[in-house]
Chain A
Amino acid sequence: MAGTINKSKSVVRSRRRAVAKPMTKAEMIQKMLADQKFIREAIQNGISFKELRDKYGYKFATV
């Protein structure tokens, strides 16, 4: 049991480290393109902006 708890803490710590780690330039480019592609395909497939926001977590500027 103690081992399980320690393992859980370890996972949390490693996730925290992963979040804090800054993106490399290559990762940044990949993310920019992936987000753009996902939204483009969603629009072409009739997915609403509301769904993109509520279901997929994308944010849009208020216009």
Chain B
Amino acid sequence: MALALKSLEINMGISLQPYKYIIHKSDYYSFITDSGAEYICYFSPYGMYFKNYPELSPKIFDFNLELKNKTTKTFGTDKRIADTVITIVGEFLNSKVNAVVYVCDPTDGKGYLRARKFKTWFNYYEHSSHQILQLNGDINAGGITLYTGLLVHKKNKFRSQFIEAYLDLIDYDDNVK
């Protein structure tokens, strides 16, 4: 069980270069990379997994990034994809009300790699208007390991409660035994 709490400080010296993205009112975002790959980003309610926290559950969302056309070829590492995702998630959290959980799909054997990429993306989150706290943990059951992360604005007044709820979700106490 790996658990890491990373406080992400503002560094005004680095700026993000996100792709221009479209907000499809009112469900999702999309953007197209230089290589022509179209990505879809959306947030869906995750309250069903936080039933012990009725005051928080309506404020917790799952973040997903999907490549719209599976057959699209991608070329190498495109840092601007990370910049775009960081910007979108940052804006979503900037309300200081919501929290986001991401779950990396392990079914193709690349869950750990996805988690590592996401963790890196948000660890270098440096944007003048956003301050995001990231907490990472695994959920283990039924022979499956899910790599997950919690993202919450540092100035979110429910920050501590979100962290408590997330630790409860990943069953931190069981995992560290």
Query: Could you list which residues of chain A lie within 8 angstroms of chain B, going by C-beta atoms?
Result: 22, 24-26, 28-30, 32-33, 35-37, 39-40, 43-44, 49-50, 53, 58-63
Contacts and interface: CB of A to CB of B under 8 A. Distances in A.
Interface residues of B, number: 34
Contacts of A32: 49, 62, 103, 146
B69 A60 contact: no
A29 B148 CA distance: 11
Contacts of A25: 139-142, 171
B141 to A, nearest CB: 4
Contacts of B68: 43-44
By secondary structure, the B interface counts as strand
By secondary structure, the A interface counts as helix
Interface of B: 23-29, 40, 42-45, 49, 51, 61-62, 64, 66-70, 92, 98, 103, 105, 107, 139-142, 144, 146, 171
